[in-house]
Structure 1
Amino acid sequence: EAQQSQARLLLIGGAQDGGLKISAEPPRRHVQVLHLDGVPADDLTDLFPRCHLIVGNDTGLTHLAALARGSGDDGPPVVGLYARHSHSKWRTGLPHHHAVATDQSDRMHQGDLCPVRDAIAPDTDVHMDTFPPASLARVCLDLLNEVGR
């Protein structure tokens, strides 16, 4: 909406019944939302380089997206959302792999800690709803504007 351009949002989920399921939400003003459930990870490695931006939580799929590159080593910026674990430990270190992190994630980073290994009780801000949509949108717009330069 901020750029007044059309966008297609792909929401990738796991397979509920082991099969592939693709569904679309009714179109919104500027966004078409497609749900891709049960797509094999090796198929996603072909899809990721064709995206303009990838946002995901701290999982292997987000890390895979950061490593999946097109010909000429090009591909989209990847934003990982880090709630509990250290954002520095789990990013790939590639310049296009960015982090948006909670205070808990930053504490894990600063102390080289792991909430599982070090038995650290979760903080109250360790859920994905901690990331305000407007703030996340600002980060994404900034990255998209950098790519467009």
Structure 2
Amino acid sequence: AQQAQARLLLIGGNPGGGLRVTTEAPRRHVQALHIDGMPADHLADLFPHCHLIVGNDTGLTHLAAMARGGRDAGGPPVIGLNARHSHSKWRTGLPHHHAVATNLSDRMHQGDLCPVRDAIAPDTDVHMDAIPPAMLA
């Protein structure tokens, strides 16, 4: 709405061919840079320079929440997207680490459950598409 420029860093896994960095042609006011195969310790150095980090409930999102630097040395705001696991169990408790959770994640939180440990077969809200963009906004 404000026509601000945005640069997205999309971090993927290891494609088996080592480090791979690709860019997409800019669309409107957004440019995307894809980074695949970067070691986690290098990403830890990158996170403090970001303005906002959004990630699924994985170790990289937790690592990003522990990043220090940037504004007030508190680290960038981090939003973890929790589909299956308890959102409260895996937040760091730091004031800049937030969570958006599906109904299943909230049920895991309320019962202190783990779908893996407690062998719970989720019937709904298993994937990240259970968190629509409007909910994240």
TM range (shorter): over 0.9
Paired position in structure 2 for 1:107: 107
Runs of 4+ in 1 over 3 A off after TM superposition: none
Q: Distance in 1 between matches of 2:45 and 2:133?
A: 28
Q: Deviations over 1:41-65 (max 9, x none)?
A: 1111111011010000000000000
Q: Deviations over 1:5-41 (max 9, x none)?
A: 0000000011211400000011100100110001111
Paired position in structure 2 for 1:27: 26
Cα offset, 1:90, TM superposition:
0.6
Paired position in structure 2 for 1:5: 4
> Does residue 1:120 correspond to 2:93, yes or no?
no
Q: Distance in 2 between matches of 1:110 and 1:58?
A: 17
Paired position in structure 1 for 2:86: 86
Could you state the TM-score of these two structures normalised by the residue count of structure 2? 0.94
Supply the AA of the counterpart residue of 1:27: P
Paired position in structure 2 for 1:98: 98
Correspondence 1:66-81 to 2 at 5 A: 66-70=65-69, 73-81=73-81
Paired position in structure 2 for 1:147: none
Paired position in structure 2 for 1:141: none
Q: Distance in 1 between matches of 2:55 and 2:133?
A: 13
Identity %: 79
Supply the AA of the counterpart residue of 1:38: G
Unaligned 5+ segments in structure 2 are: none
What is the alpha-carbon root mean square deviation over aligned residues? 1.2
Q: Distance in 1 between matches of 2:24 and 2:130?
A: 25
Paired position in structure 2 for 1:134: 134
Supply the AA of the counterpart residue of 1:42: D
Paired position in structure 1 for 2:56: 57
Paired position in structure 2 for 1:142: none
Secondary structure in structure 2 of the residue aligned to 1:123? coil
Q: Distance in 1 between matches of 2:2 and 2:108?
A: 35
Unaligned 5+ segments in structure 1 are: 139-149
Supply the AA of the counterpart residue of 1:115: P
Secondary structure in structure 2 of the residue aligned to 1:114? coil
Could you state the TM-score of these two structures normalised by the residue count of structure 1? 0.87
